[in-house]
Amino acid sequence: MRNLKAKTCSRLPEFRQGSALFLLSWVAYATAYIGRYNYSAVMGAITGQGTLTLSQAGMVSTGYFICYALGQILCGAVSQYGSPYTMIFTGLVLSGCCNLAMGVIAGETMAAVWALNGLFQAMIWPPIVRLFAESIPLEQQKSACVNINATTPVGTLAAYLASAALLKLAGWRSVFLFCGGLLLAMAAIWLVGTVPLRRATVMQVIERSDRFGQAGNHSALTALAAAGLGWMLLPVVLHGGLKDGVTSWVPSLIQNSFGASPSFSAAVAAVLPLVNLTGAFVAGWLDRKIFHNELRTVGTLFAATAVFLLVLPLAVRYSLAGSVALLAVTTASMLGINTMFINVIPVRVGAHGGAAMISGMLNAITYFGAAAVTWGIGSIAEGFGWNAVFMLCLGMTLPALIVCYFLANNWKRFLREQETEDA
């Protein structure tokens, strides 16, 4: 590793090249989502057929989240030493192969294959961020960073709708075979479509200065710890469990609680990403117009989630529509919290440097929380029923909102000190 040199990509000179890079990146990442959330969409069908128990199905998701979280850290570091175009292509190909394998295997092997899929999926996002930072024309950079967020609801919705249709027509194995083929086709499109962009890109060896390298990362972490903000990691990990853990189990919950078919359950779950995107905008509005403090905003969203989870057991007894609505606003609140933790807070700490590293670390912690809760939900639902799951989720919101409100003044003071130093 000592002989390896970090490289930077030259900036594309033409607007149309930047547009092509954004379009290819957008479609590639949306396709990656399809090869990621398809498992959640068919989990109910897999457990319904007895291929996996609820706890085994939860372990499959847990392995994915752990490897995806570790992969974000690993690939974020490695991506600076090679071609981002090649890393994205490789991630698409290997993820496609994992999806194809899931269509023909069964039993405990599924957990290992899906865990590998998490690692390979982590090869796609870090190099996209690098291309946006280094290659896309400056006048297109800000809009690209904002508009790429639409891949989340579009890709997730496509995964659930395609899964619902294929479940009805040919069963759950066909979902993985289709998504595997789709990822391989996207890899081919990426390989061919980026040829002119590769030719226009010059790779140059760079030397990192202390200001933007490890010293900056260490300075940012030290400043947060000194401000007493280390406890912020608790609500970060808990929101990750609620955001992705709950979302993963929505089809199974609907199928088990209302006797719905697997295809209908997957179709109903497709409503969630449409609502979830509003959570980011609501969180931004609350922070900008009312609280002017990211941790107070997060605490308020946790409090709202606690109310939703209190009412959810009653809704599950009487109303499918009411249950879906409460699940939707719960996961939307979690996406709003995610926006504060992963996007806004690291940028606010940017005066010390290391914002990208902090964002990656918090994102990884989020997925560790998702891994633990996804497995826990399966085991608890299997042993104690879904009402126990709702109580678990409610119990997660309470310490999170207490910590956020407790740290809000520390956070406000920290930001004031940063502004004073900058002045």
Q: In terms of CATH, what superfamily is 1-207? A: MFS general substrate transporter like domains (1.20.1250.20)
Angle formed by the axes of helices 172-193 and 151-170, to 10°?
140
| pLDDT, mean of residues 39-44 | 85
> What whole-number percentage of the chain has pLDDT above 90?
27
| pLDDT, mean of residues 397-417 | 91
Query: What span, in angstroms and rounded, lies between the C-alpha atoms of 216 and 70?
Result: 22
- pLDDT on residue 324: 85
- pLDDT per residue as tens digits for the range 197-219: 888 777 666 554 443 344 444 45
| pLDDT, mean of residues 418-422 | 64
Q: CA-CA distances (angstroms) from residue 198 to 130, 135, 265, 349? A: 14, 10, 43, 34
Cβ atoms of 22 and 145 closer than 8 Å: no
Banded pLDDT at 421 (limits 50, 70, 90): low
Q: Per residue, what are the HEC states of the chain?
A: CCCCCCEEECCCCCHHHHHHHHHHHHHHHHHHHHHHHHHHHHHHHHHHCCCCCHHHHHHHHHHHHHHHHHHHHHHHHHHHHCCHHHHHHHHHHHHHHHHHHHCCCCCCHHHHHHHHHHHHHCCCHHHHHHHHHHCCCHHHHHHHHHHHHHHHHHHHHHHHHHHHHHHHHHCHHHHHHHHHHHHHHHHHHHHHHCHHHHHHCCEEECCCCCCCCHHHHHHHHHHHHHCCCHHHHHHHHHHHHHHHHHHHHHHHHHHHHHCCCHHHHHHHHCHHHHHHHHHHHHHHHHHHHHHCCHHHHHHHHHHHHHHHHHHHHHHHHHCHHHHHHHHHHHHHHHHHHHHHHHHHHHHHHHHHCCHHHHHHHHHHHHHHHHHHHHHHHHHHHHHHCHHHHHHHHHHHHHHHHHHHHHHHHHHHHHHHHHHHHHC
Query: What span, in angstroms and rounded, lies between the C-alpha atoms of 18 and 230?
Result: 39
- pLDDT per residue as tens digits for the range 298-334: 999 999 999 999 999 999 888 888 988 898 899 889 8
Residue 253 confidence (pLDDT) above 60? yes
Query: What span, in angstroms and rounded, lies between the C-alpha atoms of 86 and 313?
Result: 48
- pLDDT on residue 55: 82
One-letter identity of residue 165? A
Q: Hey, how many other C-beta atoms are within 10 angstroms of the C-beta on 148?
A: 18
- pLDDT on residue 413: 87
Query: What span, in angstroms and rounded, lies between the C-alpha atoms of 43 and 57?
Result: 7
CATH code for residues 209-423: 1.20.1250.20
Cβ atoms of 69 and 167 closer than 8 Å: no
- Going by C-alpha positions, the residue among 369, 47, 413, 378 that lies closest to residue 223 is 413
Most confident of 4-8, 124-128, 283-287, 308-312: 308-312
Low-confidence winner among 185-189, 269-273, 397-401 (lowest mean pLDDT): 269-273
Most confident of 50-59, 161-170, 364-373: 161-170
Selected residue with higher pLDDT from 360 and 235? 235
Q: Start-end ranges of CATH 1.20.1250.20 in the chain?
A: 1-207, 209-423
Cβ atoms of 250 and 239 closer than 8 Å: no
- pLDDT on residue 356: 52
pTM of the model: 0.69
Residue 44 confidence (pLDDT) above 90? no
Residue 233 confidence (pLDDT) above 70? yes
Mean pLDDT score of the chain: 82
Residue 370 confidence (pLDDT) above 60? yes
Query: What span, in angstroms and rounded, lies between the C-alpha atoms of 38 and 121?
Result: 13
Gyration radius of the chain's alpha carbons: 21
Output the six-digit token pair for 238. 């808990």
Selected residue with higher pLDDT from 359 and 391? 391
| pLDDT, mean of residues 167-184 | 92
